């Protein structure tokens, strides 16, 4: 079996790498394969997009760059992405963080900034000038007089849920509101989200299914 197999898909082409092949074998077979593919591409003058399927193996960035350099020799061929059935420890840790909720009960004082990877359930207090910044959702059961952000740095699919009427500022992704300029209702059932127009909006937990169906299904609904 060749160490590289070309497969057509609806989105372009896949280069399937033999999992047990060495990088040297892959580069030799790939060069031979690309010469024929490059000629076909030249005839049509259309750019061919390639995804590299690595299967149950991982490749270093250096190995990937060797493959990219080889493909770059053919001006009508371009690699879109590398695909694998396995992930690195770093990627695994990132996924775990995004699916876990960190419980936090602490005081965040003026000038302090606390960053959280994933979701956070907050029972503490944020003083004016303090910041709580999460890459995931923020569930507030405490007192917020400072700044709170969900979806850092630019994920507008995240939510802030809880009583926020004393906050200085609320942010979701890159959207924000200064609460003094736009008062928020004194309620533990407030949901802060970014709407379809990319504007920060406010709703109620009872309307969560309409606000964010994906999140509603993830938590199994609300009684």
- Chain-wide mean pLDDT for the chain? 86
Distance separating the N- and C-terminal Cα atoms of the chain: 57
| pLDDT tens digit sequence for 41-69 | 555 566 788 889 988 788 889 999 999 99
Least confident residue range of 12-16, 37-41, 173-177, 190-194: 37-41
What integer pLDDT is reported at residue 34 of this predicted model?
Answer: 85
| pLDDT tens digit sequence for 71-107 | 998 878 889 988 876 656 665 555 556 567 888 999 9
What integer pLDDT is reported at residue 223 of this predicted model?
Answer: 45
Report whether pLDDT(155) > 60.
yes
pLDDT band per the 50, 70, 90 thresholds, residue 9: confident
What integer pLDDT is reported at residue 63 of this predicted model?
Answer: 93
How far is the C-alpha of 113 from the C-alpha of 106, rounded, in Å? 12
How far is the C-alpha of 178 from the C-alpha of 86, rounded, in Å? 43
What integer pLDDT is reported at residue 174 of this predicted model?
Answer: 95
CA nearest to 205, candidates 152, 154, 139, 148: 139
Burial class (CB in 10 A: 0-12, 13-18, 19+), 164: buried
What integer pLDDT is reported at residue 93 of this predicted model?
Answer: 59
The model's pTM is: 0.57
Strands ordered across the beta sheet of 113-116: 113-116, 131-134, 147-150, 169-172, 175-178
């Amino acid at each position: 079996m060749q160490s590289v197999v070309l497969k057509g898909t609806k989105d372009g082409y896949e280069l399937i790498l033999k999992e047990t092949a060495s990088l040297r074998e892959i580069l030799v077979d790939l060069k031979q394969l690309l010469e024929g593919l490059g000629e076909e591409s030249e005839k049509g003058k259309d750019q061919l997009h390639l995804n590299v399927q690595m299967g149950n193996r991982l490749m270093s960035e250096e190995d990937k760059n060797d493959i990219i350099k080889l493909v770059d020799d053919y001006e009508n061929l371009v690699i879109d992405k590398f695909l694998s059935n396995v992930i690195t420890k770093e990627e695994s840790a990132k996924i775990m963080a995004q699916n876990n909720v960190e419980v936090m009960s602490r005081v965040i004082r003026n000038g302090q900034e606390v960053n959280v990877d994933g979701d956070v359930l907050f029972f503490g207090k944020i003083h004016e000038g303090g910041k709580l910044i999460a890459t995931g959702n923020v569930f507030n059961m405490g007192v917020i007089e400072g700044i709170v952000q969900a979806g850092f740095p630019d994920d507008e699919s995240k939510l802030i849920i809880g009583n926020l009427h004393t906050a200085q500022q609320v942010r979701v992704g890159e959207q924000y509101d200064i609460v003094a300029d736009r008062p928020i209702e004194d309620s533990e059932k407030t949901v802060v989200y970014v709407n379809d127009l990319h504007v920060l909006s406010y709703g109620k937990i009872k309307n969560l299914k309409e606000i964010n169906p994906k999140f509603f299904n993830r938590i199994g609904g609300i009684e």
